[in-house]
Amino acid sequence: MARDDEAPPVTGLRLGGRAFAPGRTVVMAVVNRTPDSFFAGARQLDDDVAFAAVDEAVAAGADVLDVGGVKAGPGDDVSAQQEVDRVVGFVAAVRERHPGVVLSVDTWRAEVAEHACAAGAGLVNDTWAGHDPDLVHVAARHGAGYVVSHTGGATPRTRPFRVTYGAHPDGVVDDVVRTLTAGAARAVAAGVDPASVLVDPTHDFGKNTRHSLALVRRTDAVVAIGHPVLMALSRKDFIGETLDLPPDERLEGTLAATSLAAWLGATVFRCHDARATRRALDVVEAVRGDLIPPRALRGLA
Residues with active-site annotation: 236, 270
Max distance between CA atoms of the chain, in angstroms, equals 62
CA separation for the pair 124, 118 (Å, rounded)? 12
**How many Cα neighbours within 13 Å face the side chain of 170?**
6
CA separation for the pair 107, 114 (Å, rounded)? 10
Give the DSSP letter of residue 248.
G
- What sign does the CA torsion over 237, 59, 106, 39 have? positive
- DSSP assignment of 145-179: EEEEE--TTPPTT----S--SSSSTTHHHHHHHHH
Residue 67, strand partner residues:
31, 105
Burial 190-223 (b: 16+ CB within 10 A, else e): bebbbbbbbbbbbbbbbbbbebbbbbbbbbebbb
Question: CB neighbours of 250 closer than 8 A, spacing ≥ 6?
Answer: 235, 236, 239, 240, 243
CA separation for the pair 142, 71 (Å, rounded)? 25
SS3 88: helix
Neighbour-count burial of 268, counting CB atoms closer than 10 A to its CB (0-12 exposed, 13-18 middle, 19+ buried)? buried
